[in-house]
Each structure stands twice: as C-alpha cells, then as structure tokens.
Amino acid sequence: MLAAVGIGIALRQAATLDCRGAPVLSTTSNETGTEQTMMDQEIDGELFRSLDERPPDPRRIRQLIERGANVNAKDKDGYSVLWHSLAIGHAQRAIIELLVEGGANIDQEKDVLLGDACVHAPLSDVAFEVIVYLLRLGANPNLVVYENTLLPLDFVEHFCSCYAKWCEEGREGYSEALEYMSAIATLLRDAGAKRASELATEGFSRDLLKP
C-alpha cells in the first residue's frame, strides 16, 4: 500500500471528487428476472464478502464460482462483483481474470472499472498491472469517472502533484508513491488519455465522454 495516510488528503483536495467507499453488501436477483434461491443468495453473498477481504483469496473465490456463485450479481446498491474486486483498493489482476474466466461480463464494465482502478491506484501496489490489463481489453481512458466531470488522468496526475509537493516539503515515504503514480500517468498518456480540460479545448462535449 503506497502512502495510504496521505491519500485521504489527496482525495479530499481533488476538485469535485466523490470517492465512494464499498457499499453495504446485499445481493439481488439476477438479470434473467427469475428469483434466486436462498442458497444462491448465500453463495453470492459469500462471493462479495470474499472479494472485500484484504487481500482476497483466489482459491476461495474459485471455489465459490465452481459452486455456482453468480459472477454478474449486483449488491443492493447496484454495484457489481467486478466493481467489488476493485473498489477497496486491493485489486489483483489474477482475481479479475478469474472472475472473467467464470463468466463475468467485463466488456460492459471495463470503462468504469478503469476509472475505479485509477481513483484507487494510491491504495494498491498492483494497480499498474490491473490498468494495463483493462487498457489491453480496450477500456476507454477518456470517459468521466462516476458523476464527476473528471477523467482518469485528472485523478492520477492530481495524485502525482500531491506527492511531488509533499516530497518537496521533505515528507518521508512519498518518493516511491510519486514514481509509481507517474508510471501510471505515463501508461495512460501512452494509451491516449487526456485531462478533461485538454479535451474541452479540442472541442469535445463532456456529454460525449460519459459512459
């Protein structure tokens, strides 16, 4: 975990940032319209809880998938299994790949997941490889994150500026975080990512940038 104490400050300083935590877990019926049995609901609930562990156990998650856990289930707030695999900052590429192999529909979520991965990048030392994976799947790095008008690169470069400032002030423990976050910013730039202000000057409508 990189500079976990300071990231709370960085998040609060980001303009219009609304970084939501993991919601209370409660599974719903699946999208086919049929009601799940109590056993199905319990297995899905176990999957959500397993994903929210720090770190999640791949063997446990595989067992739940083999027992029939719905990898496309959503909690009562509408957050998906894939969202939970990223939301608390303990994302692992192996876990995401395991869910995708089990049938999780990542094509519908990859753009949103990329934004989530960037927002939570300071809380995870494996965010870089997760972002690489999502970009290779074709995730769009220029879609707004959540309800904000900010793009993934806005968040990442904001974290870079915070870490750079704290390094200049002589605070300890932020040089590694700055190097790590700068590598993510370079990765996004290489994939065509831009800041919202840059796209605005190029005449892009923010409405076109929404997922």
Res 176 pLDDT > 90: yes
Neighbours of 211 (CB within 10 A): 12
Is 121 in contact with 184 (CB distance < 8 Å)? yes
Vertex 125: Cα angle to 116 and 80 (nearest 5): 30
Q: What is the mean pLDDT of the segment spanning 51-60?
A: 86
Of 40, 38, 12, 42, residue with least CA distance to 158:
12
Q: What mean pLDDT do residues 1-7 have?
A: 47
Query: Smallest Cα–Cα separation from 199: which of 140, 158, 116, 113?
Result: 140
Q: What is the structure's pLDDT at 131?
A: 94
Q: Locate the DSSP E strands across 102-175.
A: none
The pLDDT assigned to 36 comes to: 45
Question: Does pLDDT of 14 surpass 80?
Answer: no
Q: Model confidence over 70-128: pLDDT tens digits?
A: 999 998 888 899 988 876 556 678 888 999 999 999 998 999 899 988 998 888 778 89
